[in-house]
Amino acid sequence: MKTVMQTSRTRARPARLAAAVLLALAAPAWAQKDDPDYDRLRGSLNQLVGERTLGAQAPAEIALAEQALANLAEFGGKRKLHDHYVFLAERRIDIAWAVAQAVVQERRIQALDREHDQILIAASRRDAEQARLELERQRIQSLAQQEEADRLRAEADEAREASAQTSKQAETAKKQAAQARKLADAQAREAELARKEAELLAASGVKPPPGAGKPAPAAPAAKSVAPIALGEGAFAPGQAALKPAGHAQVTRIAAAATGKSVRIEAYANDGGSAKANQALSQQRAQAIRDALVAAGVPAKRISAVGAGAKAGTARGATASFSEH
């Protein structure tokens, strides 16, 4: 097919000139002919030339078809040669039609191929962009996960350190409370022995020595302890679980509560309703009470009150002390 097209382009200009000359020379002969085969073939070739799409695609083959028609007009009058020239003209016209149609189809195929290539290129670019975006998303997700893991590890380390410190402070508070109980028991036993000694002396009629029977001097009054405040760092927003900073404050309260009663007043001003704040503050007070009991403070000496929302206090508590 390519050979035919190249031949058509190479021979197009000389063939057109030859066709024009032949038409000019043969015009008188054609005018004298009354051949239906010639008229039929002439109509077919004129139709091909008049086609807007096909007429300019096969100029060489059209010129050869014109020459075949000219031969038919000139020599077709001889009956023996008529059918031969009709056959040649038909074949030439058929070839001209076929070549013109083939050229048009080839150009359409080339256009479709170019369009197909462009579609493939666009699809390839789109796939590459999607792959790049997916890699970027995975990278960002991996960074976020790494940052979250680092944060959790840091919080876990902080919680372990706070727990270890709280345990040490709770142990110290327990020892101090045990020593205070031993001292109180010793003083009570001493007072009981003095009383019994005074009773025995009175029963025997012996005058007690000066100062006997007098009650032992009272132990100096315990110093009052200032209230201890648990700031906003004691609780997370909307939660009642103590944070590490809250546990550290509980240890201070347990150490100061030796021989005293403790009143816990917790607050919640977390933006909820009054009822929700009241319930949350009570839960926070109970959480502090449970932590004090775990630190060795007797539960019967602890009172826990939820004060709800309080102006100027978002989420914290206050521990006040009194003699029991």
Measured between alpha carbons, how far apart are the two ends of the chain, in Å? 116
Residue 232 DSSP code: G
Amino acid at position 104, single letter:
V
Q: What angle do CA 185, 188, 194 make, to 5 degrees?
A: 140
Domains by residue range for the chain, with CATH:
2-119 (no CATH), 228-323 (3.30.1330.60)
Is the Cα dihedral 35, 36, 37, 38 positive or negative? positive
- Which residue in the block uniquely carries the two structure tokens 């900073």? 245
Tell me the C-alpha distance between 258 and 177, whole Å: 5
- On the CB side of 258, CA atoms within 13 Å amount to 21
Tell me the C-alpha distance between 323 and 261, whole Å: 6
pTM, two decimal places: 0.36
- Helices marked H in 205-259: 244-256
Mean pLDDT by 10 residues, the chain (324 residues): 42 40 40 74 93 88 93 81 91 94 92 93 93 93 89 82 65 61 65 72 59 48 73 82 88 87 86 84 91 90 85 74 79
Beta strands in the chain (DSSP E): 228-230, 260-266, 302-306, 317-323
Tell me what pLDDT residue 232 has: 76
Tell me the C-alpha distance between 147 and 270, whole Å: 28
If DSSP codes are grouped into helix, strand and coil, which group holds residue 322? strand
